[in-house]
Amino acid sequence: MARAPILPTNQADPTGVDRLERGAIRDLARRVAQVRRAYATAIDRFQPEVAVNKRYTFRLDPAVLARVYEDLDRLTDSVFLEGGQQQLWFFDSYVGVAYLRGTAQEFANLAQQSPAYQAGRQDLANLLRSRPYQDRIALIRAREFEEMKGLSGQVKADMGRVLSDGMARGLNPREIASNLADQARIEERRAKRIARTEIPTALRRARMDEADDAAEQYGTQAMQMHMSALSPTTRAHHASRHAKLFTTDQQRAWWAKDGNSINCKCSTVTVLVDDHGKPLVPGIVDRARKNYQAMKAKGKGAWTEE
């Protein structure tokens, strides 16, 4: 008799990475604050002086501008790209951890359902040493480096614009510092979205990568059962997929369009199916559907009104 897939233990956090996300958000906020302080401190390097009508003048000759902005660019990159491409802080402490966790979840789930998979993979350590896993990790690592490089570039452009605009307008240095703080809050929100997108995406990708690899190597026939968080903030079209079965290609395509992966807490559970695409353990879908109905009956969130 087939054994049932392993469903998430925490329905509000089906990926299980909420704490990891919160840690990354705090870390990113600290780094944004570090950059903001550097830009605010740099104002004094332009030697502000009161002129007429309470306007300020700044030393804006090309040599000073170039030197200060080069220093700020270098510091910002050192903050967001700490560790470089091979040991990037964001990957090593957060995204890589999520990918490993997703791989471990999928290993446990498939090993429980498929004796062939369990015999072939042997144990998680063997899987983590495999060439396919190492290749997948390398791709994720490169992706996250580009993500942080993009964030660093955006922060430099935005903070640099606020600083130069403030000096060009002759603003009081305290006002320029206040404007930099306002811009930093915008950068924090952008960084928070990155953390809440990249970390659960890594976990989902790990699960589907391993599911695809299992199908290729061990001939497992499976579908992906969508698991929504069903929280008050869940989007209606995310909740509507709960307990429905899709292929990995369909899931990847759905997450890739219309911003579906942004701030998304949904996950998937690999379910072994027969030649007709029916779950080997039919009750698993019923369990997930009953949970959907129970959460909907509580009426918390716009999705429950659909």
pLDDT digits (tens, 9 = 90+) for 245-273: 999 999 999 999 999 999 999 999 999 99
3-state SS of the chain? CCCCCCCCCCCCCCCCCHHHHHHHHHHHHHHHHHHHHHHHHHHHHHCCEECCCCCEECCCCHHHHHHHHHHHHHHHHHHHCCCCCCCCHHHHHHHHHHHHHHHHHHHHHHHHHCHHHHHHHCCHHHHHHCHHHHHHHHHHHHHHHHHHHHHHHHHHHHHHHHHHHHHHCCCCHHHHHHHHHHHHHHHHHHHHHHHHHHHHHHHHHHHHHHHHHHHHHHCCCEEEEEECCCCCCCCHHHHCCCCCEECHHHHHHHHHCCCCCCCCCCEEEEEEECCCCCECCCHHHHHHHHHHHHHHHCCCCHHHHC
pLDDT digits (tens, 9 = 90+) for 26-64: 999 999 999 999 999 999 999 999 987 889 999 999 999
pLDDT digits (tens, 9 = 90+) for 58-95: 999 999 999 999 999 999 999 999 999 999 999 999 99
pLDDT digits (tens, 9 = 90+) for 160-172: 999 999 999 999 9
Average pLDDT over residues 110-135: 93
Please check the confidence at residue 10 and state whether its pLDDT lies above 90.
no
pLDDT tier, 1 (very low <50, low <70, confident <90, very high otherwise): low
pLDDT (0 to 100) of residue 54: 83
Q: Read off the pTM.
A: 0.93
pLDDT tier, 210 (very low <50, low <70, confident <90, very high otherwise): very high
